[in-house]
Each structure stands twice: as structure tokens, then as C-alpha cells.
Amino acid sequence: MSHQTNSSAGLTGTADSSLSSSVGEHPNAITNRFYTYERVEEIVGFIQKLVTTKPEIAIICGSGLGGLAELVTDKIVVPYADIPHFPRSTVVGHRSNLVFGNLNGLYVVCMQGRFHPYEGYTTATCAFPVRVMRMLGAHTLIVTCAAGGVNKGFSVGDIMLIKDHLNFPNLAGNNPLIGHNDERYHLFPGPRFPPVGHAYDRAYLLKMKEVAKKHNVELREGVYCGLGGPCYETIAEINMLRILGGDAVGMSTVHEVTLAAHCGFRTLGLALITNKCLSDYNTTYEPVHEDVIRISELKANELQQLIFDFVGFIKDHRT
């Protein structure tokens, strides 16, 4: 079931006094001043008029992995374009819908399409749907993404459990939490300076290993490197990431997980290795997005089955 409305669109092109900036103000501070607690409440209220059941799990589908939402039954599809103040995804492989429904016995919300800084969005805009899904009632976040294999031991088609990340936009001063800190977002009250050392839930990671073992799937485990894109990395950049301990690299995820830690989500991260990163100056190979989508679609069923069974574990162990 799909709903169409005439509600105003997302942040881009919206005339609002809250978008006016002071001299030198950071773009994320402007974004976070626009997405006030009250404005996010407005978005949540709009969605709740269409979807009366609270989701327990939020799932962000990476490039080519939006088919996970097809496993959802009794679904309600809410296009991003219908949601007031919501951004639009512009990338091939991202379908731009919130999909609500039942997945293996639990009510979930799936983001079919995420947002990236290279589309022109601030990292705060890329991450803000996480707040919406938390305020809708979800307590667990599952993030999936396509990634390049930095670790030389990884192969195309491997699935990596994300145990930690290197957030390069954050290191460059583009943390999505820059700006006013509204403590009402802390459903489990936290500080202005939230810890993210355990942003990826260790108990969830260990449980997913058990799920994979039942299906005879060997999971990798490693550190995800989040870069800005849209260019794929140079050989020198990949060599740097290896030295820093990176195992996979992509252009998403870290903003969302940072905000998830801020608002109290338990998070599981999964990266599908869709290409081997360049490491030899004599190679003629170059990664292309079409290959990313192709590998994602080839491995989608395996990843979807793992998530389906993991949701069953959450159902059986909820308090």
C-alpha cells in the first residue's frame, strides 16, 4: 500500500527563517537548527497517521540491497517525496521509500535509499532519518552498505561485520551533531559529547556470527572507513587506510551510526564487499558503480536471510 500526499518536500528548496545563517556558522549547525525537535515531531506525526504500529527495528538498506524490504509482509510504503521536510535519494540502487511491515514476527521500518554528502547534503541531513525512526519507536538499528575491500584478505562477495569505524568526515570537522544539542533526543539521556567507542553492539555482532554459522556463511569482521565520495579512492589513499587499520571503505554509514549512538540505538552493521580496492599502480582495473550494484544483487539473498534470522533472534529475546 502506497500513500501519496501534497505535503511540502524536504530541506532543499524550503523557505524557512531557520535556514538563515550567522557569519561563519557550520552547515551542520544550520541543518540541526532546521531539524528542531518540534520539526522532527511533525515528521513523525505525519508518518504515524499512515502507520499506526510502532516499529521495533529500523533497517537502512545500502546500494542494491533495497530488496530486503520485499521480505516485509503487510507492508505500507511511504515515499520520501510524500514526507514533509524529508530529503530525496538521488543515487542508482536507492529507491527512496520508507517501508513498514512485519519481518519474521517483528514490526520494522526499512529505509530503501539513504543520503550521502556527495549528493549535496550535509552529514547532519544524511543522518537525521535515524532520529525519525528512533522517535517512531525503534530500539535496534541494522545498517547495511556496499563497500570496497581494503583488507587484502577479503574477496568480492564477502560480508563483513562492522566492529568499528574510521569516520573521516568527523575528523575533518563534519560531525552530524555539530550545532545546538537538544537533550530531548536522548531517549536514554546522554551528554553533549556522546561516546561512540561501542557504537556497534558487541552482543549483536556475536549473535550474528551464530546466525551465519547456521547457514554455513563465513563472515569477516573489521573496521569500516567512511569517506566523503563521490570519487573512488586513489591507491595512496587505500594504502593509508590499511596502515590505519581499515578493512573496508565506503561513502555512508558513519554519519548514521554516530547519530544512532547519540539517541540510544543498539546497532548492528554489515558491509557487503562489492569490489577490491586498488593497490597496484600497474593494474588497469577501475571500480565502477555498476559493478557495485551487480555484486549487491548477486549476494542480496544471502545477506537478507542473515538479517531475517537475526530479527527472529531479537523477537525471541526482547524484554
**Residue closest to 196 by CA, chosen among 105, 288, 265:** 265
Q: List binding-site positions for phosphate.
A: 63, 94, 114-116, 146, 252
Active site residue 116: yes
Determine the 3-state secondary structure of 201 from DSSP: coil
Question: What is the per-residue DSSP string for 43-76?
Answer: HHHHHHHH--SPPSEEEEE-TT-GGGGGG-EEEE
Among residues 80, 85, 111, 116, the one annotated as catalytic is 116
CB 176 within 8 A of CB 28: yes
Among residues 119, 170, 224, 232, the one annotated as catalytic is 119
Active site residue 286: no
Among residues 3, 26, 186, 289, the one annotated as catalytic is 289
Active site residue 289: yes
CB 226 within 8 A of CB 143: no
Active site residue 119: yes
Among residues 69, 199, 248, 251, the one annotated as catalytic is 251
CB 103 within 8 A of CB 72: yes
Cβ-based neighbours of 66, under 8 Å, separated by 6 or more: 93, 94, 95, 110, 112, 113
Among residues 32, 96, 252, 296, the one annotated as catalytic is 252
Active site residue 262: no
Q: List binding-site positions for a purine D-ribonucleoside.
A: 233, 275
Active site residue 208: no
Active site residue 133: no
Active site residue 279: no
Cβ-based neighbours of 290, under 8 Å, separated by 6 or more: none
Active site residue 146: yes
Active site residue 63: yes
Among residues 37, 81, 118, 239, the one annotated as catalytic is 118
Among residues 127, 146, 147, 300, the one annotated as catalytic is 146
Among residues 69, 80, 94, 248, the one annotated as catalytic is 94
Q: List binding-site positions.
A: 63, 94, 114-116, 146, 233, 252, 275
The residues carrying an active-site annotation are 63, 94, 116, 118-119, 146, 251-252, 275, 289
